[in-house]
Amino acid sequence: MTARTYRDAYGIPHLRAADPLELARAQGRNAATDRAWQIEVERHRALGTSAAFLGADALGWDVFARQARLADTARRCYDALAPATAEWVRAYVDGVNAGLAEHGDRAPEFAAAGITPGRWEPWTPLAVWLSHHVLFAGFPTKLWRDRVARALGDEHIELFATDGPGTSGSNGWLVAGERTGSGAALIAGDPHRFIEDPGIYQQIRLACPEFDVIGLAVPGVPGIGHFGHTGGVAWAITSAMADYQDLYRERLRRTEGPGGPGIEALGPDGWQPAAVHTETVEVAGAEPVEIEIVETDRGPVIIGGADGGGEAISLRHLPRAEAALGFDTLPALLHARTVADVDRAFDRWVEPVNVVQAADTEGGLLHRVAGAVPLRARENSLRPVPAWDAEYAWRGRHPMPRAEVHGTAVMANQRGLAAPLGVEFAPPHRAERIARLLDAPVAWAPRDMAAVHMDTHLTSARPLLDLLAALDGLSPAAEKLRGRLLDWDRRMEADSVEAARFAALRSAVVRRLAADPALAGLAGPSPYPDLFLPWLALLPRVAFALETLLADDHLPGVDRAELVRAAVEETAGAGGEVTWGATHRLAPWQALPGADGTADEEWPGLAGDHDCVLVTSSVPGFTDRSARGSAARYVWDLADRDNSLWVVPFGASGLPGHPHRRDQLPLWLSGGLAPVTTDWTRLTEEP
């Protein structure tokens, strides 16, 4: 049969075809129909050509994408795929190209940007995936730690360790059948990423005689990798917070030889030739920029070069080093029927490294890490290491940890199952809070999970409030504010004035601590590209490590009590009865901000905070606006797939003004979840 598209009440696509290849073509065509502008922006970002129409603000990313050789790495990984997987990816790309040719011009952003849809290559989906995830593990944190060690001493290298502003995470939990009303397992959670409009996750169903899967796809990438339900088995992931990318300090020098000028890099075996060529990055409204692309035996040079002393930093990661990304996992997941099938499929996964939970209708349960982490010296995980020292070479791969499930299992980026694989993990608050909520004597059902998704208790407020409680000699206004905050229930609700006052106090503390002379060596501009600023700026680092910095005397010379005293006097003097939601507003990323007519002030206010289960991250001390949070929420029911629930921040369509562009936003804000509908008779077929 010819592939057919159906829609539910929220416009979510349900695709039906005669075989997996025809279905892959249908998925690609649908991505181009529903998300043409979005996937074309991602293609250009992966190629390093987005500044040609987005302007100078996109130049830093394009330079990095070129220097890191994302497109060439994708080609290598595609060439290494199993033949059947490569054929499946090609079918998807054929669908994308057909859909762009037929429907791409419906997206008005193309005209606004002055471009037309381009043509996808067979390897483009792998490039899109790399573009989304190359910064996922936060390798720029190694540059920050190196700076901390140089400014404060090696003993402080991990002082600011925390789930910081440049990372992504997730909540996830599995409730075994013994704890549910149906007697079958539930899997629930929400991936935390920068909120993009349109969203990075697309609700979709893929059905053919071989399989029938619902889940969250990434537009521009075939299959359903991270969150899916086949009817017999369901799975979900969170970031393992593993460290699997290394930075090497390189020494480079220019050479002259029979073949012309070149570059050499100092490695463990002496000076070796490096690959080098130049590329030109086009920039809308500005002159083009010519850049030199250098790659040593460790990997592509992403900072510095052969001039100015020849100091540089290269990036080494498995997709580039071994032409391995893990895409052979994706079609295997679609065919999965049991937990054992999901387990075998994830054995092939490489990057990013995730914690996986799965359950099936036979009672099988799975809790494991999936991906690849190189074995190497611990120093590699902390900071850039010298390329010329063999001590820092890779020596195989880590085994992936796994654990038994007893009643419930919670994964929230905390130090736990994946502890041997990483350095920085999220504070334990989200995981402990979820576990505490799940310990309630409840026979859990899918609808009950919204109460966990939307929990706003802020455990990390304790150190600041403890210091506040111990102060004496405050002014009357500060004394009144202290009383209100000590009586506060520590819930970051959107309509809470106390939550807003706490956030204002926290921001004042962050700014004062960042300005303290003890941290002067970390202030000032970074010598590294602005792209890495979220990982390298002092104020965000203080903001996200505040709990640690206030809990103990980690910083000699910093009087924590007096710092909080000055901050509470400042905050009390500001006055006002503003609610948290008045300033803590959604701030999604858009490739062309305002192209759909939405002004910044029109985005809604939010409950939650960085360390709440309801993650809505801002940067205390800099802004209350939230750019990171739940990119989707889901509940997979193994008793009956039609009892499953899901929601995304915006909607199924990427077209401005479309009825399903933002029809899920009210649900997402309130904690509501849309029903999963799999009965074909309750769906509407598109002509």
The residues that are catalytic are 170
For tokens 């490489």, the residue is 350
Q: Which two tokens stand for residue 380?
A: 């590699």
> Which amino acid is residue 311, in one-letter code?
E
**Whether the Cβ atoms of residue 371 and residue 349 lie closer than 8 Å to each other:** yes
Local structure of 375: helix, strand or coil: coil
Burial class, 182, CB count within 10 angstroms (exposed 0-12 / middle 13-18 / buried 19+) = middle
The DSSP code for 247 is E
442: left (phi over 0), alpha (psi -120 to 50) or beta: beta
In this structure, the chain runs to a length of 687
User: What is the phi/psi pair of residue 282, to 5°?
Assistant: -80, 145
Q: Fill in the DSSP letter of residue 401.
A: P
Q: Taking the CB of residue 257, how many other CB atoms lie within 10 A of it?
A: 9
* CA separation for the pair 631, 573 (Å, rounded): 37
Q: Which two tokens stand for residue 553?
A: 């005397």
List own/partner pairs for 146-149 with CB under 8 A and 24 or more apart.
146/383, 146/384, 147/522, 147/526, 147/536, 148/522, 149/383
Judge contact between 673 and 666, C-beta under 8 A: no
As beta bridge partners, residue 237 has 356
The answer to whether 306 and 253 are in contact (CB under 8 A) is yes
Report residue 141 as tokens: 């944190």
- Residue 260 zone, left/alpha/beta (φ > 0; ψ -120 to 50; rest): left
Give the residue from 243, 251, 273, 295 showing the smallest Cα distance to 387: 251
Under 8 Å between Cβ of 188 and 449: yes
Q: How far is CA 90 from CA 24, 25, 401, in A?
A: 9, 8, 33
Contact 623, 229 (CB under 8 A): no
Query: Residues near 437 by Cβ (< 8 Å), separated by ≥ 6?
Result: 451, 452, 455, 613
* Residue that is written with structure tokens 């849309």 in the block: 674
